[in-house]
Structure 1
Amino acid sequence: MSASRLVIFPVHAQADAVWHSLLEAGQLQHAATLCERRRARYINARVALRLTIAELLHCDLQQVVIEQEATGQLRVCTEPPLFASVTYAQHLGLLVVGSSRLGLDYEDGVAPVFWRSVVRRYFCDSERHWLQGRDNRSQEADFVWLWTRRESHLKYRGSGIRGDTRCLCRLDGAAPPYQHSFNLAGGVGTLTGEAMTVDLSPSLLALCGEWSFDPDFSWRKAPGGMVCCVRSE
């Protein structure tokens, strides 16, 4: 995964007005139609993406063109293209940019009270059987990790978790991607991509005044025993 960036940015408040000039008129118009929470996420993510990509390509900010493909993947209009994926938690956003398809998901909270019904509704048989075989004391944390694993894979493919509940290892005949789990600020996430290993540390992009954040980031080994879907580090 060459030429990559992993960036943390705030979403608890809208980026300072000085950054809004980086957005296109259509983006600002769309942002105005959103509720306050979704507006902050939308604006901050697009500002963070534009800043990150301009730094990565060593180009002017106005030269950055980002398109959303029919599959939902974000693609930077360069030759060769760059790809991006974005995920949100309650107070922070996380994005990754790289030279091949990517999927990123992160959860900073505990499992919802209805997590068992989520398992029945969205997970495939292999995932359900693996989770049922885990220690009762770790099942809720394992559910959160498994959710990020599935969601990041489906983002990599260009769909969302609610749009596809099939066993991921049966989606096509292509070689499965690699997945890399990580811990961040007490939460857990998964990065899905075509690289066997990654050597990334997140950088902070403060868009809201004096915002600061202790990332407390580390790559982690995935829980053992899962045989379905993808290759883990």
Structure 2
Amino acid sequence: MTAIDAACVEVWTVPLGAEPQPPPALDAYLDDGERARAGLLRDALDRARFVTAHAALRAVVGARTGCPPEAVRFTRGPNGKPEVEGEDGLFISLSHSYDIALVALAPRPVGVDVERLGEASAVTRIAERHFPPSEFAAVAAAPAKERAAVFARLWTRKEACVKAEGGRLTQGLGLLVQGVDGQLTVQGGGGALDGPWRVADLAPTRGYAGAVALIGSGPIRLAVRSWLPPAAGNRGEKSTSLRELSPAWS
């Protein structure tokens, strides 16, 4: 396995498309458990997107470890957090929302989240019910056309921290994640979530918000790539573009 810089997080964007059938090669990447989970989804488009997202995770991990995607083995923590079997220095996270997925790889526990922007009225109600008062106030005070983006920025930061810790979302809704755009350090909220986490905002595509969280407080570097399903003989990872983002925030 090629070593990952201790301060570097790889984030792969994966378009999930709008076709009810994934490329045939991708189903072969999955194990029996993943196929069974896909089979429980009644909607064909949901199944196709599930297959593509999980196949992308396998392809990215396989490229990093030198293992064929179908031979990658995962174990799962108490709350379902995936871990790569036999790779103690490689941590992963997967998130998907509608037609996009994000895959994160890092040298220490990492969490990634992506969410499509919702309706202003709906997100205000959710923030009032679940967010700390100062964060609800920030959502409520935002102009209506910006409110969903403000909410999604806070929500994805919280969920990324929870995923890095391997906890449950309900444990992280009270985390104070409000701060400047870019990178920030989030302190633990006590209880099951210790922290701290270094959180970086992501802009996956128009209409979506994303965030990645790495255990620890030091600035991180993001290597942002894109993954496409294999076509014309390639295995997907060849169709990538790389942006190295040096730490721009203290």
Q: After TM superposition, is the score higher than 0.5?
A: yes
Decide whether aligned partners of structure 1 residues 167 and 183 sit closer, same or farther in structure 2, where only a CA change above 3 A counts: closer
Does residue 205 of structure 2 align to residue 185 of structure 1?
yes
- Cα distance in 1 for partners of 2:162, 2:201 equals 15
8 Å CA contact retained: 1:10, 1:207: no
C-alpha deviation, 1:199, in angstroms: 2.9
Q: CA RMSD in A?
A: 3.5
Which residue of 42, 58, 64 maps to 2:72?
64
So what's the TM-score if we normalise by structure 1?
A: 0.77
8 Å CA contact retained: 2:9, 2:222: no
Give unmatched runs, 5+ long, in structure 1.
223-231
- Cα distance in 1 for partners of 2:225, 2:71 equals 24
Give unmatched runs, 5+ long, in structure 2.
177-187
Decide whether aligned partners of structure 1 residues 129 and 109 sit closer, same or farther in structure 2, where only a CA change above 3 A counts: closer
Which residue of 15, 22, 27 maps to 1:10?
15
So what's the TM-score if we normalise by structure 2?
A: 0.73
What are the within-5 Å matches in structure 2 for residues 157-168 of structure 1? 157-162=165-170, 164-167=172-175
8 Å CA contact retained: 2:84, 2:90: yes
Q: Which has the higher contact order (CA 8 A, sep 6+)?
A: 1
Please give the per-residue CA displacement for 1:166-206, whole angstroms capped at 9, x wherever unaligned. Answer: 34542258451100012222232111113522131222222
Which residue of structure 2 lines up, in the alignment, with residue 45 of structure 1?
A: 53
Which residue of structure 2 lines up, in the alignment, with residue 74 of structure 1?
A: 82
- Cα distance in 2 for partners of 1:112, 1:190 equals 20
Does residue 26 of structure 2 align to residue 19 of structure 1?
yes
Does residue 67 of structure 2 align to residue 98 of structure 1?
no
- Cα distance in 2 for partners of 1:171, 1:56 equals 34
Which residue of structure 1 lines up, in the alignment, with residue 190 of structure 2?
A: 171
Please give the per-residue CA displacement for 1:83-106, whole angstroms capped at 9, x wherever unaligned. Answer: 221122322211112221111112
- Cα distance in 1 for partners of 2:14, 2:118 equals 21
SS in structure 1 at match of 2:210 = strand
Which residue of 204, 208, 229 maps to 2:227?
204
SS in structure 1 at match of 2:224 = coil
Please give the per-residue CA displacement for 1:113-164, whole angstroms capped at 9, x wherever unaligned. Answer: 3111101122123422444565676444211211111121222222343455
Once the two structures are overlaid, the 10-residue window that deviates more, 68-77 or 102-111, is 102-111
Which residue of structure 1 lines up, in the alignment, with residue 181 of structure 2?
A: none
Aligned residue pair count: 222
8 Å CA contact retained: 2:9, 2:220: no
What are the within-5 Å matches in structure 2 for residues 101-180 of structure 1? 101-132=109-140, 138-162=146-170, 164-167=172-175, 169-172=188-191, 174-180=194-200
Percent sequence identity is: 20
Decide whether aligned partners of structure 1 residues 106 and 214 sit closer, same or farther in structure 2, where only a CA change above 3 A counts: farther
Decide whether aligned partners of structure 1 residues 112 and 87 sit closer, same or farther in structure 2, where only a CA change above 3 A counts: farther
- Cα distance in 2 for partners of 1:51, 1:31 equals 18
